[in-house]
């Protein structure tokens, strides 16, 4: 079933945009509990937070963080696209809009990754 959905998404960029919006939203929703746990560590004191931050100081975690920033940017861009369609009576070339949303997400994910490498 999911294979058929992906094939149809190639034919209908609007479906692809909706799928990307949902996947990025799911990634953000899965991140929230982890974020709250880390906030709880911060509230329990600096040593606990420092131990956790030491565990996350590696290239894999930075790449995952960049992916999360990219997912946030993608969700934001797709949401703006939906708002423009609904509120402004805007009709766009959907394939171009989806490509622009993906480029926006890639740009901010890469920008985050590069700033993390430069910042240390």
Q: Which CATH number covers residue 68?
A: 1.20.1300.10
How many DSSP H helices and E strands does the chain contain?
A: 5, 0
97 and 18 in contact (C-beta within 8 Å)? Answer: no
pTM of the complete model beyond 0.85: no
| Alpha-carbon distances, residue 73 vs 55, 76, 106 (angstroms) | 26, 5, 8
Residue 2 class from Cβ within 10 Å (0-12 exposed, 13-18 middle, 19+ buried)?
exposed
Q: 102-120 pLDDT, tens per residue?
A: 899 999 989 988 887 676 5
Distance CA 72, CA 24 (A): 7
Q: 18-30 pLDDT, tens per residue?
A: 888 999 999 999 9
Given a cut of 60, is residue 9 above it in pLDDT? no
In total, how many domains does the chain have?
1
């Amino acid at each position: 079933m999911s294979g058929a959905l992906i094939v149809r998404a190639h034919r209908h960029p609007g479906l692809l945009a909706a799928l990307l919006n949902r996947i990025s939203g799911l990634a953000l929703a899965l991140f929230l509990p982890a974020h709250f746990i880390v906030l709880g560590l911060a509230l329990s004191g600096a040593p606990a937070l420092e131990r956790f931050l030491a565990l996350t100081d590696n290239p894999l975690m930075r790449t995952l963080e960049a992916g999360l920033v990219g997912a946030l940017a993608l969700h934001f861009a797709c949401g703006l696209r939906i708002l423009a369609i609904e509120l402004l009576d805007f009709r766009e070339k959907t394939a171009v809009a989806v490509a622009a949303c993906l480029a926006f997400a890639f740009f901010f994910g890469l920008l985050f990754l590069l700033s993390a490498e430069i910042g240390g």
